[in-house]
Structure 1
Amino acid sequence: MTISVGDKLPEAKFKEKTADGPVEVSTKDIFSGKKVVLFAVPGAFTPTCTLNHLPGYLENRDALLAKGVDDLAVLSVNDWHVMGAWAEKSGGMGKIHFLADWDAGFTKALGLDMDLSAGGLGVRSKRYSMLVEDGVVKSINIEENPGQATVSGAEHMLTLV
């Protein structure tokens, strides 16, 4: 079953690369007591994710914060090394949390996993964005086509906060 508006996020742990090395963070660490924009991508460094989805959030980060968002996070079913490299290469380190859902545990708990084995990628996350307040989903925007970042993009999210 897919998570819905009004649902509380399941408890999960992620790996995130910081300036001091890898750290383990939980949904409580990221979402408790805050308004957070979470967006997920099928894979770090993949074309739509790198050229469209992530740049939109980096470009609109300040506008989202000005509208009352406390934090932003991007999630992918990748390891923390890949997510850390993506954060550094994109210029997003320290601006957005790059959460590694390395075993797809959180993604599966949300019901937002998809099998891209035919393309050599294995189990990955659907492309989506959500607005989360104190751990509760306030809006969720799931792309029908994983090669697009329209309803899950930053420009659309700006209309929802």
Structure 2
Amino acid sequence: MDVSCSVHDLVLNFCSSVFRPALGQSVVEVKVGDKSASFPAVIRPRQMITSVHWERGTKEVLVRDINGDDLRRQSPLFKERTQMDPDALRSLDMSLVLAYPTLTDSGTYTCLAVKGIIVKVRFSVELRVKGQCVCLSREIRSSRSHGVLSVM
């Protein structure tokens, strides 16, 4: 059975329970100060999904199951900054919105669409948050006579 998923206008083909982008990983670019970053993800054709898991590395971004959002293991980094369509499991619109992205939000986000305990769909989106990094430098002086370092 051939199944496909479109992510940000990129069609992904189903292969061994894993979606692999034909042209490489989808990329979302935003700037520091933007109100949100959106990871568009709609599964086609229709299939039964019982939960959706968005992750970044080992951090849980958002889990949605038949009871709604499960925030018990959500990383504090994403607390109160994530949103999905309330009807995502029925509409198969797994798009994630991350509010007020920061430089530390940059990275690879993985979406797992699950039926029971079986991963039916897996794909990744890279978030690139662009902005200025303010680097503070301090003058460090050494007092040889007292063996003390002072930060100015």
What TM-score results when the alignment is normalised by the length of structure 1? 0.26
Q: Quick check: which one's strand share is greater? A: 2
Structure 2-normalised TM-score?
0.27
Structure of greater Rg: 2
